[in-house]
């Protein structure tokens, strides 16, 4: 593993910043304290800061030894927001905000990019420009989309953009990157079935929405098994069914909610169309009516081949061929997808290990519970900071070393 010495030297200080951010989590579009901390550190290192993109997002600009004259530019993105959940960890840097927690490692993503920013500003061993994108509201707020709406790519024209996410279960010291779809689209549905309430002892006097809902839930799965091609990926998960108030009352209505995940728009179009048809015809068959709502949230995250191949060569040089893994696609969703719709680039994973690092915290006993994303026992592994920062720096140096107009291939 080839880590940069100056980044290793500064790692403890950056880890302290990471733990400070972890202890003070902020939800989407509320990342004021975090953005202030990031902006202050960038300014301290002589990096100009542009604030207010996507409400609380910011961009730092590092120009190389040529002052950016060559015209080449690259964007590096880290997200900053936390999740609305209660942390169960008891180590010293656990959340001080009840009901808010950095359970996805965005504190660590911010720290890795800050560590890279510090090195890039101090050494500037490249020609061109680096845009450091600190993004708000990845967890459901579409912060990437909002930064783009506020002119991210017009104000900061970059040739490509890259994002990195920690991944529990992958060994520390490893990366995973692959071309093509790596994370799914995220979509929600809400279906309200309206029947006719009655006494439960006299069900023939009403139209019971409950068996209608049961039929729909089962029929939706035939979309996956009989309408979609077997080789195409897709998930329909009904996660909520709400109805009724008393055991002796047939309810007047029933509400079904859930999520749909796909890697392509073709499959998504098919699923939405068939779900609507099934909902409407099933309700009609029982004499009920239905209100079908389907909301498309994040698009699929699709890595560009040339940029991914280039990144893989950089990562292999940092950790060796054995440390570079194929990126198994996941049905989780990520709003970095919006950036990849506008610019070529790659979204890749850095291994966060199995959570054993928590056992080294003062007092011991902190390595209980699964250290998985969105889990109340999760914690980012600070050993990743120098590795992630080194990867960012080497990517910058090698990407910007290409001639203007050259290919990532």
CATH classification at residue 225:
3.30.70.360
Could you tell me if residue 60 is inside a domain?
A: yes
Could you tell me if residue 409 is inside a domain?
A: no
Domains of the chain: total: 2
Could you tell me if residue 142 is inside a domain?
A: yes
How many CB atoms are located within 10 Å of the residue 197 CB?
A: 18
| 247 in the same domain as 262 | yes
Residue that finishes a domain, picked among 240, 267, 296: 296
Residue that finishes a domain, picked among 296, 324, 358: 296
Q: Kindly report the CATH number assigned to the domain that includes residue 380.
A: 3.40.630.10
Cα(298)–Cα(53) distance, rounded to whole angstroms? 19
Residue that finishes a domain, picked among 256, 281, 296: 296
Contact 361, 354 (CB under 8 A): no
| 341 in the same domain as 237 | no
Q: What is the DSSP string of 283-330?
A: HHHTT-EEEEEEEE-SPPEEE-HHHHHHHHHHHHHHH-GGGEE----B
Could you tell me if residue 320 is inside a domain?
A: yes
Look up the pTM and report it.
0.94
Could you tell me if residue 407 is inside a domain?
A: no
Could you tell me if residue 406 is inside a domain?
A: no
Q: Which of 108, 52, 42 is nearest to 81 (CA)?
A: 108
| 279 in the same domain as 213 | yes
| 190 in the same domain as 177 | no
Give pLDDT, residue 403. Answer: 84
| 262 in the same domain as 328 | no
How many CB atoms are located within 10 Å of the residue 248 CB?
A: 7
Cα(181)–Cα(159) distance, rounded to whole angstroms? 21
Rounding to the nearest 10 degrees, give the CA dihedral for residues 152, 72, 308, 156: 0
Could you tell me if residue 349 is inside a domain?
A: yes
Q: Which of 251, 256, 310 is nearest to 278 (CA)?
A: 256
- Pairing relationship of beta strands 289-296 and 129-135 according to DSSP bridges: unpaired
Give pLDDT, residue 348. Answer: 98
- Compute the Cα dihedral for 16, 17, 22, 25 and give only its sign: positive
Q: What is the DSSP letter of 205?
A: G
In which residue ranges of the chain is pLDDT below 50? none
Contact 86, 104 (CB under 8 A): no
pLDDT, tens digit, 9 for 90 and up, residues 102-113 = 999 999 999 999
| 204 in the same domain as 112 | no
Which range marks the domain in which residue 128 is found? 5-184+300-400
| 336 in the same domain as 199 | no
Cα(56)–Cα(39) distance, rounded to whole angstroms? 11
Could you tell me if residue 356 is inside a domain?
A: yes
H-helix or E-strand spanning residue 75:
strand 73-79
Neighbouring residues of 267: CB distance < 8 A, sequence distance ≥ 6:
228, 232, 233, 234
| 76 in the same domain as 9 | yes
Cα(344)–Cα(74) distance, rounded to whole angstroms? 10
Contact 172, 351 (CB under 8 A): yes
| 157 in the same domain as 304 | yes
| 275 in the same domain as 133 | no
| 340 in the same domain as 236 | no
| 289 in the same domain as 255 | yes
């Amino acid at each position: 593993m080839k880590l940069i010495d100056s980044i290793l030297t500064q790692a403890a200080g950056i880890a302290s910043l990471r733990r400070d951010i972890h202890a003070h989590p902020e939800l989407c579009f509320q990342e004021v304290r975090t953005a202030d901390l990031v902006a202050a550190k960038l300014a301290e290192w002589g990096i100009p800061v542009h604030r207010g993109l996507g409400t609380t997002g910011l961009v730092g600009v590092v120009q190389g030894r040529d002052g950016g004259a060559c015209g080449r530019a690259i964007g590096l993105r880290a997200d900053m927001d936390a999740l609305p959940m209660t942390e169960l960890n008891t180590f010293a840097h656990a959340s001080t905000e009840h009901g808010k927690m950095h359970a996805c490692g965005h504190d660590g993503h911010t720290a890795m990019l800050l560590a890279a920013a510090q090195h890039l500003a101090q050494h500037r061993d490249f020609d061109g420009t680096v845009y450091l994108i600190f993004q708000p509201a990845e967890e459901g707020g579409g912060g990437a989309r909002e930064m783009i709406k506020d002119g991210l790519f017009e104000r900061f024209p970059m040739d490509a953009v890259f994002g990195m996410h920690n991944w529990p279960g992958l060994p520390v010291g490893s990366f995973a990157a692959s071309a093509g779809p790596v994370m799914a689209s995220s979509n929600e549905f809400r279906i309200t079935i309206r029947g006719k309430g009655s006494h439960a002892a006299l069900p023939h006097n009403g139209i019971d929405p409950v068996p209608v809902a049961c039929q729909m839930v089962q029929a939706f799965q035939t979309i996956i098994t009989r309408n979609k091609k077997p080789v195409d990926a897709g998930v329909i998960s009904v996660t909520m069914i709400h109805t009724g108030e008393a055991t002796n009352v047939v309810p007047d209505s029933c509400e079904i909610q859930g999520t749909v995940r796909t890697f392509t728009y073709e499959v998504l179009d098919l699923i939405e169309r068939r779900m609507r048809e099934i909902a409407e015809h099933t309700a009609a068959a029982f004499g009920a009516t239905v209100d079908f709502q389907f909301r498309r949230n994040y698009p699929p995250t699709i890595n560009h081949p040339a940029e991914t191949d280039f990144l893989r060569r950089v990562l292999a040089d940092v950790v060796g061929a054995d440390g570079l893994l194929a990126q198994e696609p996941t049905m989780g969703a990520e709003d970095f997808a919006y950036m990849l719709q506008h610019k070529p680039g790659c979204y890749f994973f850095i291994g966060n290990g199995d959570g054993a690092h928590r056992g080294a915290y003062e007092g011991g006993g902190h390595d209980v519970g699964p250290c998985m994303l969105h889990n109340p026992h999760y914690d980012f592994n600070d050993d990743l900071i120098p590795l992630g920062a080194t990867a960012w720096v080497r990517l910058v140096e090698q990407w910007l070393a290409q001639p203007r107009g050259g290919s990532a291939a």
